[in-house]
Chains A and B, each alone.
Chain A
Amino acid sequence: MNPTLRRVARELRAAWMLLAVCVVLAVASPVFATSGNLLNVALATSVTALLAAGQTFVIILAEIDLSVGAVLGFSAAITALTLRHQSTVTAIVVGLLVGAGAGLVNGLLVTKARMPSFIATLATMSVLGGLTLQLSQGNPIAVTDYDFQNIGQARLAGIPAPVWIMVLVFIGFGVLLARTRFGRYVYATGDNAEAARLSGIAVDRVKILAFVISGLLAALAGFIVSARLSTAEPTAGTGLELEAIAAVIIGGTSLAGGRGDLVGTIVGALILGVIDNGMNLLDVSPFLQSVVKGLVILFAVLLDRNADVIRGWFRRRPPTAPAQTDQDAAELVSA
C-alpha cells in the first residue's frame, strides 16, 4: 500500500473509533448530537488535550512525562497567588515560566543526570504535588481576576476560549512537529538516538526542549482549569497525566518512540472526552466510568498493535506470520 495511504489509514483507525462511539451515543441519547453538547465535549477535552499535546513530543522521543498533572496544579497555584498582587499578564508570564522551568528540570534530569524519565518525572511529580499542597495548605486559592477568568469562561463566535486555545495549540505545535527541523530531529532522536547524535543532532537539547514544551502546555492547561472554576484547586491535576498518556497512545503514537503525531493525539483526547460525556448523559455510575475508560484504552491499543492480524480476518487467506527477525523481514522485502 502507498505509504501516505497507510498513514491515513492508521490515523483513520482512531478516527473511525471516534466516529463509531459518536454514532452509538447519538442513537442512545437525543442530547448527544446537539451543538451545545458537542461544545461541552470540546471544552471538557481541552485540558487533557493540551497535556497530551506536550506529552506527544516526549513520547515520540521514547520518554515519558509523569509530572504534567503536578506541574498543572503547581503553576496554577503560583499563578493564582501572583494574581493577588500583580497584573494578569505578569501572572500569566510567571505561570508559564514555572511550567517551562519544571520541564527544564525534567529535561536536565533525563539528559544531563542520565535518569530514566519515568523515575525523574515520578520524583518531580511528587515534589511539585507536595509543594502545591504546602503552598496552599491544601485549600483552594480563589481567582477573582476578571480578565484571567476569561481564559476559561469567555466565548468567541460562540465557541469557548479554551476550545480556541486547544485548536491554536494543536495547529501551532502540529506544524512545529511536522514541518520544522526541530520536528524532524524529534522523530529521528526518538527512533534512534545514537544515529541522531552521530548525524550531528544535539539530542540532549532536543529532549530538554520537548520536556519544556510539555511543562509549558501543562501550565497553559492549568490556566484553563483555574479560570473556569475561578479557583486554583491544589489537586486539580491529579491523575491527568495518565489521561494524557492514554490519549497519546490511543492516537497511535508509539511508546517505543519515533512514530506518532498530533492529529492522532487530538483524536485520542476526543475519544476519551466523548466517552466521558456519553456516560454522563446515559447516567452510568461514575465508578463504572473508570472501568469503561480502561477497557477503551485496552481496545484501542489492541486494535493498533494487531491491525495486520485483524485485517487478515477479513481476507480469505490466513494472516501472514510476523517476520521472525530483521533478516527474515529483509528476505521478504528483497525477494
Chain B
Amino acid sequence: MLLSVHGVRKAFADNEVLKGVDLAIDAGEVVALVGENGAGKSTLTRVISGVHRPDSGRVEVDGEAVTFRNPQDAMARGIQVIYQEFRHNLFPHLSVAENLFVKEDGRRFGRVLVSRKEMERAASAAMSDLGMDIDPHQRVGRLGVAEQQMVEIAKAMGHDLKVLVLDEPTAALDDRESEALFTQVRRLREDGVGVVYISHRLDEVFALADRVVVLRDGVVALSGRTGDLTRDEVVAAMVGRTVDDFYPKAANARPDGAALELDGLTCAGEFADVSLSVRPGEVVGLGGVLGSGRGSLLRALFGLERLDAGTIRVNGESVRPASPAAAIRAGIAYLTPERGTDGLCAQRSVAENISLAALGAHTSRWGFVRRAAERRAVSETMAGLKVRAASPDIAVGSLSGGNQQKALFGKWVMTRPTVLLMEEPTRGVDVGAKTEIYRIINELTADGVAVLMVSSDLPELVAMSDRVLVMRAGRLAAELTGERITQQAVLEHALEVVS
C-alpha cells in the first residue's frame, strides 16, 4: 500500500468529525472519496496532508507509520493536495515558471541570480509533460481556471509525487476542460501515482475511479470497486437512505402563453440573435460550454450587460432592464452562480438576506422597515423552502451549503418573480439538499414561475428541464425536447460534434 490510514479519529471541540476511518490507496489507483458536506472528507484530506493531526489512529506511507507535523512533512513523503480553492496557492502576478518553482531550492537555476532562461525551459518541459501548451512567461492571473489548475498539478508533480489528492477539481471547469483533466488523472495513474479524487459528481466518479469510498458522519459507509457498485447504491450510502427519485421532476409547463420572450437579442462579443420563449411553469435549460454565451445571456436579461439589439418581453410587456433593480421590478430574478461571492451577505442574518431584494415591499413611506410584516414574510418563505436554521437571526454564513442555497432561493422567491433565471442552482450543495432544491424548483413552476436555467451539471440539466436549448459561440445551436434531451445530445451540440 502506497498510503493507508487506520482507525483515524479527529474531533474539533466536542464535535467528532472522523470516527475511526480506514482508507488505503495503492500505486496506480484512483480512489474516489464521496460523501455529503460534513461527512468528513475535508478533515480526512487534511489528516492525510498533515494539516490536522489525528487524535488517534495512524497514517502509513509505504507500510511505515508516519507522523506529519505539518503539510511540508507530507509533501516530503510525496503527498500533494490540490484544494478546491487552489487559486489561493498561486501567485497571480508571477509567471507560470515562477509559480512552478517557487518552492524550489534557490540554487537550482543559478548560484546567485536566478537564470530565467533555464527556469522557463524547465517550466515549458513540465507543462508539455502534461500535454499543455502554456507560455511560461505568462502571468498566472491571466490564465483561465483550467490552465491555473494545470499549473498547480505541474507544481505538485515536481515533488516526487506519490499520492495526489484532488478536492472537487471540476467544480469550476466546463465539460471540455473536465475531460482534459480526466486525461491527466489517467496519465498519472499510468505513471503509478495514487490519486484520491473527491467529487460530488457521481458521473465523474464512475467514469474515472477504480474504487469508491463513501464517507458518512465520519465513518466509511460503503467501499468497493466501481464496477461492482451502482449509482443508486452510492447515493443511498451517502444520504443513509434510498433515494427513490433523485430528480423529482414535475412537468408544470402551462400549455400556452409566454412568460419570457426574447427576439433577436444581441450583445456584441457575448451572444448574437438569440430568440427564445419560456412558458409559465416551464423550465428551459441552457446548455453549452463556458464562454458559449449562456451566462452572459442571463446577465444581460438581469440588466448587467449592455444589449445592442433585440427585444425582451416579460408577460407580453416589452422591457429593457438597465440595472438589477429595474430587472427585479420587471419581474425577473437571478439566482447567481457563486453564492459566497455574489449571492449572500455571509455575516448578516438569514432573515436580512432573504428579505434583501424585496425590502421595498416591507418599507414604510418614511423608509422604515416594517419589521413585523417582514418577519412574517421571511418565516413563511423559510418554512415553504424548508430552510433549516436555529433562528432567522443567525448569520447566514453559519448555515450548511444546502441551507445557504435555499436561503438564496428564498431571497428571489420573496420578489415574486415572473421569470427566474438560475445559474448553477445546486453548486456546492450535498446530495440530500440537491433533491430538496429540485422540489423547490417544482413548487415554483407549479405556481407558474418560468425558469431559465444554466447548469454545468449535465445530469441535472437533462433531468430538470422541460426543454434544453444549447448555445455555441454566442448563438443558439439546437433545441432539444422530450426524448431527445440526453447528456450525449447536449454535449454533441455544445462541442459541435454534430451541426
A interface residues with partner B (beta carbon < 8 Å)? 2-4, 179-182, 184-185, 187-188, 191-192, 194-202, 258-259, 317, 320-321, 324-335
Contact = CB atoms under 8 A, between A and B. Distances in A.
Contacts of A200: 323-325, 327-328, 357
Nearest 5 CB-CB pairings of A with B? A191-B345, A334-B38, A334-B400, A200-B325, A320-B13
A332 B352 contact: no
A185 B355 CA distance: 11
A321 B12 contact: yes
B297 to A, nearest CB: 16
Contact of B359 (A181, A258, A325, A335): A181
A264 to B, nearest CB: 15
Contacts of B328: 200
B12 A258 contact: no
A191 B464 CA distance: 33
Contact of A335 (B15, B345, B346, B352): B15
Contacts of A4: 393
Contacts of B369: 179-181, 184
Contact of A258 (B85, B324, B345, B367): B345
Contacts of A182: 367
Contacts of B325: 200-202
A331 B347 contact: no
A247 to B, nearest CB: 21
B37 interface: yes
A185 B395 CA distance: 16
Nearest to A257: B347
A180 B346 contact: no
A195 B348 CA distance: 12
B401 interface: yes
B46 interface: yes
- Of the candidates B304, B323, B340, B398, the one having the most CB atoms from chain A within 10 angstroms of its own CB is B398
A198 B352 contact: no
Contacts of A181: 359-360, 363, 367-369
Secondary structure call for the B interface: mixed
B345 A192 contact: yes
A69 B356 CA distance: 34
A334 to B, nearest CB: 4
B368 to A, nearest CB: 5
B46 A180 contact: no
Contact of A328 (B43, B341, B352): B43
B342 A184 contact: no
B344 interface: yes
Contact of B356 (A2, A199, A259, A332): A199
A335 B401 CA distance: 12
B336 interface: yes
B37 A330 contact: yes
7 contacts: A179-B368, A179-B371, A181-B359, A191-B348, A196-B345, A332-B12, A334-B37
B359 A317 contact: no
A329 B348 contact: no
Chain B contact-residue range equals 35 or more
Contacts of A334: 37-38, 400
Contacts of A201: 325, 356
B27 interface: no
B342 A195 contact: yes
A187 B347 CA distance: 9
Given A196-B345, A259-B347, A324-B51, A331 B43 contact: yes
A36 to B, nearest CB: 39
A188 B393 contact: no
Contact of A326 (B51, B340, B345, B347): B340
B200 interface: no
A321 to B, nearest CB: 7
Contact of A331 (B40, B85, B367): B40
A333 to B, nearest CB: 5
Given A181-B363, A329-B398, A198 B13 contact: no
Nearest to A3: B393
A187 B37 CA distance: 29
Nearest to A317: B13
Contact of A187 (B336, B343, B348, B371): B348
Given A3-B393, A3-B394, A258-B347, 7 more contacts: A185-B359, A192-B342, A194-B341, A195-B343, A200-B324, A324-B46, A335-B17
A230 to B, nearest CB: 38
B400 A333 contact: yes
A184 B359 contact: yes
A235 B334 CA distance: 51
Nearest to A175: B368
B342 A198 contact: yes
B1 to A, nearest CB: 27
B391 interface: yes
A200 B327 CA distance: 8
Contacts of A324: 46, 51
B42 interface: yes
B100 to A, nearest CB: 24
B332 to A, nearest CB: 10
B399 interface: yes
Contacts of B43: 328, 331
A327 B42 contact: yes
B108 to A, nearest CB: 31
A286 B483 CA distance: 84
Nearest to B393: A3
Given A192-B346, A320-B12, A199 B37 contact: no
B411 interface: yes
Contacts of B346: 191-192
Contacts of B17: 331-332, 335
B344 A331 contact: no
Name which of B13, B40, B347 has the most chain A CB atoms within 10 A of its CB.
Answer: B347
A326 B42 CA distance: 11
Contacts of B38: 330-331, 334-335
Nearest to A189: B345
A196 B342 CA distance: 8
A188 B401 contact: no
Contacts of B340: 326
A142 B400 CA distance: 63
B12 A188 contact: no
A90 B323 CA distance: 39
A327 B323 CA distance: 33
Contacts of A202: 323, 325
Given A181-B359, A328-B42, A331-B42, A195 B344 contact: yes
